């Protein structure tokens, strides 16, 4: 059953729905439209119906009995809590407060008591701690087993994981075991009045933002894009508790033989200062100017997609929907127009300075400081002023 219905009072038998349906999902019977077994609920006919006779009937209440609470899965690396965990807790707390739920965090590791205590300081109600040598390094099999156990015990209405390689590996496995829905890589979440988690994520390469719900499956699972949601603040008087949960490992096929650290400096996702280059840069050699500026500010050079496509910078430097998301303390956009696919990856930065020759460039909508002018004139002045130890904002006074 698709959930789509025809209001026979409104249907005037025009047949438009029959013409537009690509699947023979609807026919006219006695001048009234009727759905057939072939309907795939796409729902083109509903959009095309001139009398709005086709509607979606809500079949299931989204408040599923026995499921309450928000559960977030913390991430550790080398035993240390990763920043994305605080972002999950911040968002989890907001959603839990909206619904009057408890907020639970799960931490998995070996010797992870310290990380559990840090999670408490972010104000979660419970930390479910699975502390076992088998969980020392991430492996999908034991981690999925432990999370399945946590979900089956707590029966949360919402479960959030990070949209990191670890989260992306675990979440689909867990959702499949629990036979529930999962929305990957969300950039915004909300709860409606009926307890439905509204999960917003870019679709079709970022051309549209889709909002997805899981009406029947529980928990409602989502992975959350790192560096998009604000992190939780530490609370003054943590009132939650750490619950140590016994873990019974099975026979696993995978083993960790060796851990090698990733080469440093290969990603801009963690850079505090990003100087980003757009197509306003005329030649590859001119990137040196930006490298100098980034060096002077202790940051890294990022870029828009066209510069990666031109082979000027590696894809690890691309900021945006199909690149990295950055949450820099300072982001300087040089000759970047401000397409949504780019700004989606940088607009959570604390301070954004945009330099563009076009006063109407959309990047200025995302900027805290707009510098209208030729970057080839402005950047040398900016570098000079930094070398003299002046504030970046001095530029505004000296150049009008």
Residues that bind ligand FAD (CB under 6 A): 205-206, 278-280, 304-306, 318-323, 335-337, 339, 341-342, 345, 355-358, 361, 374-376
Residue pair 20/58 in contact by the 8 Å Cβ criterion: no
Strand order across the 241-244 sheet: 182-186, 220-224, 158-162, 70-73, 103-109, 126-131, 241-244
Q: Which does 43 bind (CB under 5 to 8 A by kind): ligand FAD, ligand SF4, none?
A: ligand SF4
Compute the distance between CA of residue 79 and CA of residue 198 in angstroms, rounded to an integer.
Answer: 32
CB of 367 vs ligand SF4, minimal distance in Å: 43
For the record, the structure tokens of 92 come out as 């989890």
The DSSP line for 151-201 is HHHH--SEEEEESSHHHHHHHHHHHHHHT--EEEEESEEEE-TTS-EEEEE
Radius of gyration of the chain (CA): 25
CB of 27 vs ligand SF4, minimal distance in Å: 9
CB of 314 vs ligand FAD, minimal distance in Å: 14
For the record, the structure tokens of 52 come out as 């709005």
Helix axes 165-178 and 140-154, enclosed angle (nearest 10):
50
Per CB under 6 A, the list member of 5, 27, 44, 67 interacting with ligand SF4 is 44
Compute the distance between CA of residue 381 and CA of residue 17 in angstroms, rounded to an integer.
Answer: 63
Nearer to ligand FAD, 197 or 353 (CB): 353
Q: Is 330 left (phi over 0), alpha (psi -120 to 50) or beta?
A: beta
Interface segment toward ligand SF4; rule CB under 6 A; list 46-54, 149-157, 289-297, 385-393: 46-54
CB of 360 vs ligand FAD, minimal distance in Å: 9
Nearer to ligand FAD, 163 or 320 (CB): 320
7-26 positions binding ligand SF4, by CB under 6 A: 11-17, 21, 23, 25-26
Per CB under 6 A, the list member of 3, 40, 59, 152 interacting with ligand SF4 is 40
Nearer to ligand SF4, 5 or 196 (CB): 5
Strand partners, 65: none
Q: Which does 135 bind (CB under 5 to 8 A by kind): ligand FAD, ligand SF4, none?
A: none
Q: Which does 336 bind (CB under 5 to 8 A by kind): ligand FAD, ligand SF4, none?
A: ligand FAD
CB of 215 vs ligand SF4, minimal distance in Å: 17
Return the residue matching tokens 């959702």. Answer: 175
Instruction: Tell me which residues touch ligand SF4 (CB under 6 A).
Output: 4, 6, 11-17, 21, 23, 25-26, 33, 35, 39-45, 49, 51, 53-54
């Amino acid at each position: 059953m698709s959930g789509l219905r025809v209001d026979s009072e409104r249907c005037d038998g025009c047949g438009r729905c029959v013409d537009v349906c690509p699947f023979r999902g609807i026919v006219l019977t006695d001048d009234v439209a009727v759905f057939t077994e072939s309907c795939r609920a796409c729902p083109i006919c509903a959009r095309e119906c001139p009398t709005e006779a086709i509607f979606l009937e809500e079949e299931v209440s989204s408040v599923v009995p026995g499921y309450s609470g928000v559960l977030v899965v913390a991430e550790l690396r080398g035993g240390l809590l990763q920043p994305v965990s605080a972002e999950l807790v911040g968002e989890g707390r907001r959603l839990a407060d909206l619904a009057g739920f408890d907020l639970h965090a799960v931490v998995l590791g070996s010797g992870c008591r310290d990380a559990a205590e840090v999670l408490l300081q972010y104000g979660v109600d419970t930390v479910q701690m699975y502390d076992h040598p088998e969980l020392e390094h991430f492996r999908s099999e034991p981690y999925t087993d432990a999370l399945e156990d946590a979900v089956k015990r707590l029966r949360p209405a919402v479960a959030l994981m990070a949209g990191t390689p670890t989260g992306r590996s675990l979440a689909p496995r867990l959702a499949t075991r629990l036979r529930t829905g999962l929305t990957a890589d969300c950039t915004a979440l909300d709860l409606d009045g009926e307890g439905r988690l509204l999960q917003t994520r870019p679709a079709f390469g970022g051309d549209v933002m889709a909002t997805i719900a899981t009406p029947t499956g529980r928990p409602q699972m989502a992975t959350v894009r790192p560096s998009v949601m604000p992190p939780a603040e530490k609370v003054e008087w943590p009132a939650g508790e750490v619950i140590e949960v016994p873990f019974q490992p099975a026979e696993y096929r995978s083993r960790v033989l060796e851990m090698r650290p990733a080469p440093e400096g290969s990603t801009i996702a963690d850079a505090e200062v990003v100087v980003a280059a757009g197509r306003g840069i005329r030649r590859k050699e001119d990137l040196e100017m930006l490298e100098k500026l980034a060096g002077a500010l202790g940051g890294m050079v990022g870029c828009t997609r066209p510069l990666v496509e031109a082979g000027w910078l590696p894809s690890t430097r691309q900021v945006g929907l199909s690149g990295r998301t950055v949450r820099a303390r300072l982001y300087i956009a040089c000759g970047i127009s401000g397409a949504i696919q780019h700004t989606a990856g940088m607009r959570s930065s604390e301070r954004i300075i945009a330099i563009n020759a076009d006063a109407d460039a959309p990047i200025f909508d995302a900027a805290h400081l707009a510098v209208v002018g030729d970057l080839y004139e402005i950047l040398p002045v900016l570098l000079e002023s930094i070398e003299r130890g002046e504030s970046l904002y001095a530029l505004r006074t000296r150049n009008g």
